[in-house]
């Protein structure tokens, strides 16, 4: 009999199996989890190097880097899950700087007892989202915390992209006269989560808008329009993002309520819960500040892209020493659209 | 959208604005108090004031549930959570109301002011709920913990509290009780009308009231008839949508011009003269009048609030934990009291928008979006800036 018998390792049980403390312990169990669950789904040449860090070629241009922790509850929601959200969220932060996203690092904090099958679904969703976006997950980390010390799974992703020289989108570049464009209807991600959490029947049709926006950004850049600033209005919604830009640029803004694209279901669910869609999170929308003469061209370019079909001009930039974002209400009055106070919806992304 | 946009229609609003301008006489001013925070919110959020002529002025009333809660009542809730170790369930708005010692329920929840400085110990277990029924569910899920529902609000929120108390009794729950701080709208209106600023000095000119919307669905329009007759002030009950408010203002203008002082019902789609009898009976079964209750801004008002009847004593947190109310003075510079009585406007407070903001509220009116200060700060303060320039 030959002395070297091929070792048999029982594969991970993705049906009944659960995360236990050994999966974060640094031993064989962790190696198996990484190999069978993560590497098999996210695999690429860089991840496959199996070193402590990925060594990557240096692309021409300037590096753009961003990081984002994802703690959404529930983990699975209409239109997505924490996996694709963790990919889109970070890609979008890189994309709105005008950059082409290239690589992601992903770090998982798993709670003891979390079903391996759910983890596999989440990682598969990440893999699909990354592959669709043409982005590679090149390095990662896994930690396990005791039951009760986490909420299933938290995912932190860090993204790296490149932006060509001369392309400078920044929140301090809005000027009086500029127009404000939103790429589509607002508030869908936040309300999809909220509708599920609160079991609001009629709002079941609301689907999260989670999507990677770099393709839309590329189409916008290709239009040649003088884009001053791009930003994705996630937590705090459109209202908070516009207030950030107004303060950074030292300007005021005036919105038209009647121009805001809002789906009927989202408006109804917001009404029901006493929320304002302007403050509800989006995960697949962006706001663009553009020079007035290029507004029409940019709007047309956005509307020609699948993620910008409902793009609309929602207001303009004005001189204002107070840096107020104001809105002409559909009712015919005027009001401030202030910073979000407190926390409208917790654990949204 | 059905039943929402119809009540916010800009075209109808412009039509009403024209009618209001035509009805308002040039030779006089009109001062109307909207009692409810819901109206205050609608006026600010939709910019209703921008559609009114300069001589028609709205005065914000005291009808914001968290605004009228005195500091001592929040202190009671914090003591329950921190010292008695209960799970305290509260509506979201109440969490940020300032209490004694720089605390609020939100800060107590994060462990501020607790004896142990280390993380994770002796935190107040304070949870936000959307309804009284949610609090009852928390009690059912935690049979080994005492659970207290911090029940606040006017007549609208009282029946649901009555329901959960009866339900808890029927279920034989031994770990659920209610810290009852429910107050009565007519008492607050009477207090305003009896105040020297309105009655003797005339420093608060008051030509009529926009009457409560949701409260009136419960109590009906009849309770206001006394005010209309006794004090000769017209009352128009109105819904919380901006067109409701505009229509009510027009109805009030016409009453004043005609020298009438009647209770009229603009909110007839939801309010009847007798109100919701079933809810009234339920409330009467579970609650009784308190001899006196301290309101923020309005002071101690006799028979102005409810407490839980003896037959439901097991569910009364005040009895169960033997905690009493201790009066605490408001912040010296805070004008919430005067603002709640309609004596001052938010922007006339020295600390409005500087020391006192929605992020760091000093007074209760800066907390809830229905509070006069928060509504003006969040929606209307551009008008102050314009006045400065």
Tell whether A114 is covered by a domain.
yes
State how many domains chain A has. 2
pLDDT at B198 over 90: no
Question: What pLDDT digit, counting tens, does each position of B210-236 carry?
Answer: 999 999 999 999 999 999 999 999 999
Which residues in chain B have their CB less than 8 angstroms from residue A332's CB? Answer: 10, 13-14, 17, 47, 50-51
Residue indicated by tokens 């930690």: A143
Q: Does B169 lie in the same domain as B87? A: yes
pLDDT at A347 over 90: no
Q: Does A142 lie in the same domain as A229? A: no
Q: Does A231 lie in the same domain as A328? A: yes
From B381, B347, B361, select the one nearest A324 (Cα to Cα): B381
At A143 the pLDDT is 95
Question: What pLDDT digit, counting tens, does each position of A187-213 carry?
Answer: 999 999 988 887 777 777 899 999 999
At A25 the pLDDT is 87
Domain encompassing residue A225: 179-336
Q: How confident is the model at residue A346 (pLDDT cuts 50, 70, 90)?
A: low
Tell whether B148 is covered by a domain.
yes
Which residues in chain B have their CB less than 8 angstroms from residue A258's CB? Answer: 10
At B389 the pLDDT is 38
Q: Does B215 lie in the same domain as B170? A: no
Q: Does A304 lie in the same domain as A186? A: yes
At A3 the pLDDT is 57
B interface test, pick of A270, A335, A340, A344 with most B CB neighbours within 10 Å: A335
Q: Does B160 lie in the same domain as B80? A: yes
Q: Does A242 lie in the same domain as A134? A: no
Question: What pLDDT digit, counting tens, does each position of B110-123 carry?
Answer: 888 766 545 545 56
Domain encompassing residue B284: 71-182+276-320
A interface test, pick of B51, B379, B387 with most A CB neighbours within 10 Å: B379
Element (H, E) at A153: strand A153-163
Which tops the pLDDT comparison, A346 or A294? A294
Measured in whole angstroms, how far is the alpha carbon of residue A181 from the centre of its chain? 19
Look at B48 and A331 and tell me if their CB atoms are within 8 Å.
Answer: yes
Helices A82-95 & A116-133 angle (0-180, nearest 10): 30
Domain-terminating residue out of A163, A191, A223: A163
Q: Specify the CATH number for the domain of residue B256.
A: 3.40.50.11750
State how many domains chain B has. 3
Q: Does B42 lie in the same domain as B16? A: yes
Q: Give the closest of A322, A330, A338 to B385, CB-based.
A: A322
Lowest mean pLDDT: which of A67-76, B100-109, B309-318?
B100-109
Tell whether B255 is covered by a domain.
yes
Which residues in chain B have their CB less than 8 angstroms from residue A336's CB? Answer: 378-382
Entry field: residues in chain A: 349
pLDDT at A88 over 70: yes
Question: What pLDDT digit, counting tens, does each position of B286-305 carry?
Answer: 999 999 999 988 889 999 99
Domain-terminating residue out of A137, A163, A189: A163
CA nearest A334 in B: which residue? B47
Q: Does B216 lie in the same domain as B167? A: no
Pair A345, A283: CB distance under 8 Å: no
Tell whether B174 is covered by a domain.
yes
Tell whether A6 is covered by a domain.
no
Cα distance from A328 to chain B (closest Cα, Å)? 8
Which residues in chain B have their CB less than 8 angstroms from residue A347's CB? Answer: none
From B270, B258, B138, B148, select the one nearest B217 (Cα to Cα): B270
Which residues in chain A have their CB less than 8 angstroms from residue B16's CB? Answer: none
At B6 the pLDDT is 87
Domain-terminating residue out of B221, B240, B265: B265
Q: Does A156 lie in the same domain as A80? A: yes
Work out the percent of chain A whose per-residue pLDDT is above 90: 82
At B118 the pLDDT is 52
Q: Specify the CATH number for the domain of residue B294.
A: 3.40.50.11740
Tell whether A11 is covered by a domain.
no
Which residues in chain A have their CB less than 8 angstroms from residue B51's CB? Answer: 331-333
Q: Does A230 lie in the same domain as A318? A: yes
Q: Give the closest of B1, B51, B130 to A332, CB-based.
A: B51
CA nearest B11 in A: which residue? A331
pLDDT at B250 over 70: yes
Q: Does B84 lie in the same domain as B167? A: yes
Which residues make Cβ contacts (< 8 Å) with residue A28, sequence separation at least 6?
none
End-to-end Cα distance, chain A:
57
Q: Does A259 lie in the same domain as A192? A: yes
Q: Specify the CATH number for the domain of residue A37.
A: 3.30.1330.10
Tell whether B342 is covered by a domain.
yes
Q: What is the mean pLDDT of residues B22-30?
A: 96
The pair phi, psi for residue B16, each rounded to 5°, is -65, -35
Q: How confident is the model at residue B388 (pLDDT cuts 50, 70, 90)?
A: very low
Pair B297, B159: CB distance under 8 Å: no
Look at B46 and A324 and tell me if their CB atoms are within 8 Å.
Answer: no
Q: Does A200 lie in the same domain as A313? A: yes
Tell whether B389 is covered by a domain.
no
Question: What pLDDT digit, counting tens, does each position of A226-252 carry?
Answer: 999 999 999 999 999 999 999 999 999
Work out the percent of chain A whose per-residue pLDDT is above 70: 97
Look at A338 and B45 and tell me if their CB atoms are within 8 Å.
Answer: no
Q: Does B142 lie in the same domain as B40? A: no
Interface of B with A (CB under 8 A): 1, 4, 8-10, 13-14, 17, 44-51, 96, 130, 242, 358-359, 374, 377-382, 385
Q: Does B153 lie in the same domain as B111? A: yes
Cα distance from A332 to chain B (closest Cα, Å)? 6
Q: Does A192 lie in the same domain as A131? A: no
- What stretches of B62-113 show up as alpha helix (H) in DSSP? 71-82, 105-109
- Which two three-digit tokens encode residue B39? 């109206």
Cα distance from A198 to chain B (closest Cα, Å)? 10
CA nearest A332 in B: which residue? B10
Cα distance from B17 to chain A (closest Cα, Å)? 10
E strand map for chain B: 30-36, 56-63, 87-90, 125-128, 147-153, 176-182, 208-211, 235-237, 263-265, 287-289, 292-295, 299-302, 306-308
B interface test, pick of A203, A333, A344 with most B CB neighbours within 10 Å: A333
Cα distance from B379 to chain A (closest Cα, Å)? 4
pLDDT at A254 over 80: yes
Q: Does B288 lie in the same domain as B143? A: yes
Q: Does B25 lie in the same domain as B100? A: no
Element (H, E) at B161: helix B158-171
Tell whether A13 is covered by a domain.
no
Q: What is the mean pLDDT of residues B118-145?
A: 86
Tell whether B298 is covered by a domain.
yes
Tell whether B167 is covered by a domain.
yes
Question: What pLDDT digit, counting tens, does each position of A297-325 carry?
Answer: 999 999 999 999 999 999 999 999 999 99
ipTM > 0.90 (yes/no): no
Tell whether B283 is covered by a domain.
yes
Q: Specify the CATH number for the domain of residue A267.
A: 3.90.650.10
Q: Does B231 lie in the same domain as B85? A: no
CA nearest A344 in B: which residue? B92
β pairing state of B56-63 and B125-128: unpaired
Domain-terminating residue out of A139, A163, A187: A163
Domain-terminating residue out of B244, B265, B286: B265
Q: Does B351 lie in the same domain as B202? A: no
Q: What is the mean pLDDT of residues B306-325?
A: 96
């Amino acid at each position: 009999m030959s002395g070297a018998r091929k070792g048999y390792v029982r594969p991970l049980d993705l049906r009944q199996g659960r995360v236990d403390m050994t999966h974060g312990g640094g031993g064989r169990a962790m190696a198996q989890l990484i190999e069978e669950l993560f590497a098999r789904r996210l695999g690429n040449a860089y991840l496959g190097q199996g070193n402590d860090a990925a060594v990557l070629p240096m692309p021409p241009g300037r590096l753009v880097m961003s990081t984002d922790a994802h703690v959404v509850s529930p983990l699975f929601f209409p239109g997505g899950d924490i996996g694709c959200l963790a990919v889109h969220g970070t890609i979008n932060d890189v994309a709105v700087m005008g950059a082409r996203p290239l690589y992601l690092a992903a770090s998982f904090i798993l709670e003891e007892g979390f079903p391996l099958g759910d983890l596999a679904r989440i990682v598969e969703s990440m893999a699909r989202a990354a592959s669709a976006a043409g982005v590679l997950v090149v390095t990662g980390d896994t930690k396990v915390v005791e039951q009760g010390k986490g909420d299933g799974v938290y995912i932190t992703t860090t993204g790296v992209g490149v932006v060509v020289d001369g392309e400078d989108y920044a929140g301090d570049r809005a000027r009086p006269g500029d127009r404000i464009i939103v790429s589509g209807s607002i508030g869908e991600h936040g309300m999809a989560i909220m509708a599920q959490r609160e079991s609001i029947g009629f709002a079941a049709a609301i689907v999260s808008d989670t999507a990677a926006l770099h393709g839309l950004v590329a189409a916008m850049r290709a239009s040649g329009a003088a884009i001053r600033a791009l930003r994705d209005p996630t937590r705090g919604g459109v209202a908070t993002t516009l207030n950030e830009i107004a303060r950074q640029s030292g300007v005021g803004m005036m919105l038209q309520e009647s121009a805001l694209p809002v789906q009927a279901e989202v408006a109804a669910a917001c009404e029901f819960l006493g929320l304002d869609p302007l403050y509800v999170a989006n995960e697949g929308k962006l706001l663009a500040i553009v020079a007035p003469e290029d507004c029409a061209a940019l709007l047309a370019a956005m509307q020609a892209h699948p993620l910008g079909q409902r793009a609309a001009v929602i207001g303009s930039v004005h001189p204002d020493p107070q840096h107020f974002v104001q809105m002409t209400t559909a009712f015919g009055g005027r009001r401030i659209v202030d910073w979000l106070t407190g926390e409208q919806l917790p654990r949204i992304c | 959208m059905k039943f929402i946009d119809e009540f916010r229609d800009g075209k109808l609003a412009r039509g009403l604005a024209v009618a209001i301008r035509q009805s308002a006489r040039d030779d006089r001013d009109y001062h109307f108090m909207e009692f409810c925070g819901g109206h205050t919110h609608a006026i600010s959020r939709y910019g209703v004031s921008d559609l009114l002529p300069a001589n028609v002025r709205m005065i914000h009333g005291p009808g914001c549930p968290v605004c009228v809660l005195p500091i001592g009542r929040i202190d009671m809730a914090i003591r329950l959570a921190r010292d008695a170790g209960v799970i305290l369930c509260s509506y979201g708005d109440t969490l940020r109301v300032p209490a004694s010692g720089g605390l609020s329920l939100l800060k107590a929840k994060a462990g501020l002011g607790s004896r142990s400085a280390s993380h994770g110990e002796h935190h107040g277990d304070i949870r936000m709920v959307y309804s009284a029924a949610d609090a009852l569910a928390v009690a059912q899920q935690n049979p080994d913990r005492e659970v207290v529902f911090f029940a606040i609000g006017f007549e609208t929120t009282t029946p649901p509290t009555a329901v959960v108390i009866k339900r808890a009794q029927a279920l034989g729950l031994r770990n659920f009780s209610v810290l009852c701080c429910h107050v009565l709208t007519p008492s607050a209106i009477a207090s305003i009308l009896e105040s020297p600023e309105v009655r003797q000095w005339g420093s608060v000119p008051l030509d009529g009231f926009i009457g409560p919307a949701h409260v009136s669905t419960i109590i009906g329009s009849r309770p206001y008839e006394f005010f209309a007759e006794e004090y000769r002030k017209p009352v128009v009950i109105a819904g919380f949508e901006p067109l409701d408010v505009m229509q009510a203002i027009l109805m009030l203008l016409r009453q004043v011009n005609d020298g009438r002082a009647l209770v009229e019902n603009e909110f007839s789609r939801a309010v009847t003269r007798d109100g919701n009898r079933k809810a009234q009976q339920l409330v009467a079964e579970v609650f009784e009048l308190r001899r006196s209750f301290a309101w923020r801004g309005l002071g101690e008002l006799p028979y102005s609030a409810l407490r839980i009847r003896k037959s439901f004593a097991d569910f009364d947190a005040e009895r169960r934990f033997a905690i009493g109310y201790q009066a605490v003075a408001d912040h010296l510079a805070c004008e919430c009291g005067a603002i709640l009585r309609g004596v001052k406007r938010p922007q006339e407070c020295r600390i409005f928008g500087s020391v006192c903001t929605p992020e760091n509220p000093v007074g209760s009116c800066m907390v809830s979006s229905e509070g006069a200060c928060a509504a003006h700060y969040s929606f209307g303060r551009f008008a102050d800036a314009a006045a400065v320039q």
